[in-house]
Structure 1
């Protein structure tokens, strides 16, 4: 086999994307034949040279893996997050082999994310040189003026340089807002949001219905599916990795709608899902326990919220038990008298005294 650049070999082997492979080389984490390499452009022969990353041998897989994830809002498309937020890879726990997301989708955006170990395809889809078009549906406040949409197509100047949309059009009218369809040719940071803000549009929601010609139709937020052989073939044709005429992408009418949102926060990744209940149904242990301890169902709403990973925070950040206790101490509505009665002018009257000696209003 002919020699090729080290970063290309690492990407094609599924270690990471080509850009990240360059960072690994510059950081001194890659060795070729036991010699550390820090020079970009170093060439290797995959059949003869021994390449390792952090001591682990790198070899090309016999077959590549391709998965499409419906990334939920409140999730980052990185391998790890220092803030402990859910990542796209968390939703693919249990998938054999090592895959990585192609490009990025904003933390609060949702929609199609491709994960693969095919580094060459990832590079072609992510690099603007190859002309891969990215389609977004953007929910904006009110009814945007036609002039604002035209300005996005003509181009605006952002803090990191000029930018423009390849296509902009009204997609669908909602009750109080409008969905517009925006097509761009690069994956610059927050590009679509900044284009909208530059022409005075307030973004309410950002949804990517497809990527590489494959839509999230049939998927729910936080779920994924493997791509078919035909989908992979067409995707590789679109970026020039395989010969033949690529099939056209999904038409405007075929673009799926964003999923309805229920509650707050992203769905819990599979690795974080609690164990199922002992009765073998879909209720988890926390829900079953809540129903057993609270037969009248007063606490079932909280248990359901915990199961979805979107429990709503209590008012003023207080746990429910502490709020109830505060009402009892303050003599609020429905408060039960404490044994022995309340001391005159004490807890029930003017509230508790704070550390500084002043009075503190009871929590409501």
Structure 2
């Protein structure tokens, strides 16, 4: 009887692929395999001779996804006010090219922030990840700090989390809290998973507190931290692993290139 061919037999050894991806040395990765800490396509691998196809197989270590394609680049940008979230603006306004010109790869933005909103924006050449994260049905959690007109009360905060009616349907913040109130204005932190257009500005206007300044501090597992406006940095391996894990857990089946991206 002719033996059934092993589909992974013509691939590359798992420990070599993970070592090339910068996870650890081959010797350490072999220990991980024996300890059952590595999964390929959701199945625990314990054989040291396992081969995989890096362009097809999904691998995670201790439950954290690993990017096997070392040509992919992931950059966090603190987009400043006055810059539009596009690589080339038809109206000649400042765009994202000034932040990508020093990278060899052709990077694109994941989602959008409007010109008057600053904060965390991801730039990458990983089109598949970008389409998943920006897809309206994905609902990645985002945290914003809004400076608004007037004195926000505890009742207003409760209204934001309970839900309000907008022209395109009801919306509720996942979380909302008042950070500060002084000199006729307030700072409010809003956590949302909605990707609807300019949703933070519309929500705050609906409760009588128009936004005067808005910054996105968090996108999924990524935090802006101390990154200054107009500065960028590559994601750490821990940040990238968390982002890839999130995307793989709930990837929308109908996410395709060209989907509408949210704009805040």
Residue 4 of structure 2 is matched in structure 1 by none
Residue 115 of structure 1 is matched in structure 2 by 123
Deviations 1:31-77 (A, max 9, x none): xxxxxxxxxxxxxxx99xxxxxxxxxxxxx75210000010011111
Q: Does 1:138 align with 2:146?
A: yes
Residue 237 of structure 1 is matched in structure 2 by 245
Q: Which has the higher contact order (CA 8 A, sep 6+)?
A: 2
Q: Does 1:95 align with 2:103?
A: yes
Residue 85 of structure 1 is matched in structure 2 by 93
The structure with the largest alpha-carbon Rg is 1
CA distance 1:154–1:121, change in 2 (3 Å): same
Q: Take 2:179 and 2:102, find their aligned partners in 1: how far apart are those partners?
A: 37
Deviations 1:303-339 (A, max 9, x none): xxxxxxxxxxxxxxxxxxxxxxxxxxxxxxxxxxxxx
Deviations 1:273-332 (A, max 9, x none): xxxxxxxxxxxxxxxxxxxxxxxxxxxxxxxxxxxxxxxxxxxxxxxxxxxxxxxxxxxx
TM-score by length of 1: 0.47
Deviations 1:130-177 (A, max 9, x none): 331111001112221222222222222222232221111112344542
**Contact 1:128/1:185 (<8 A) preserved:** no
Instruction: Give how far 1:189 is off.
Output: 1.2
Q: Take 1:84 and 1:231, find their aligned partners in 2: how far apart are those partners?
A: 34
Larger relative strand fraction: 2
Instruction: Give how far 1:241 is off.
Output: 5.2
Q: Take 1:134 and 1:177, find their aligned partners in 2: how far apart are those partners?
A: 23
Residue 206 of structure 1 is matched in structure 2 by 214
Residue 151 of structure 1 is matched in structure 2 by 159
User: Which one of 125, 136, 140 corresponds to residue 133 of structure 2?
Assistant: 125
Residue 224 of structure 1 is matched in structure 2 by 232
**Contact 2:152/2:181 (<8 A) preserved:** no
In the alignment, structure 2 segments of 5+ residues that lack a partner are 1-6, 8-54, 57-68, 251-264
Q: Take 1:122 and 1:86, find their aligned partners in 2: how far apart are those partners?
A: 22
Instruction: Give how far 1:178 is off.
Output: 1.7
1:350-361 → structure 2 map (5 Å cutoff): none
Q: CA RMSD in A?
A: 2.4
CA distance 1:65–1:174, change in 2 (3 Å): farther
Q: Take 1:176 and 1:157, find their aligned partners in 2: how far apart are those partners?
A: 26
TM-score by length of 2: 0.64
In the alignment, structure 1 segments of 5+ residues that lack a partner are 2-45, 48-60, 243-364
Residue 129 of structure 1 aligns to a residue whose secondary structure is coil
User: Which one of 75, 84, 98 corresponds to residue 83 of structure 2?
Assistant: 75
Residue 239 of structure 1 aligns to a residue whose secondary structure is helix
Q: Take 1:210 and 1:89, find their aligned partners in 2: how far apart are those partners?
A: 22
Stretches (4+) displaced over 6 A: none
Q: Take 2:163 and 2:134, find their aligned partners in 1: how far apart are those partners?
A: 21
Residue 171 of structure 1 is matched in structure 2 by 179
Q: Take 1:89 and 1:104, find their aligned partners in 2: how far apart are those partners?
A: 14
**Contact 2:139/2:195 (<8 A) preserved:** no
Q: Take 1:89 and 1:147, find their aligned partners in 2: how far apart are those partners?
A: 43
Q: Take 1:175 and 1:199, find their aligned partners in 2: how far apart are those partners?
A: 19
Q: Does 1:160 align with 2:164?
A: no
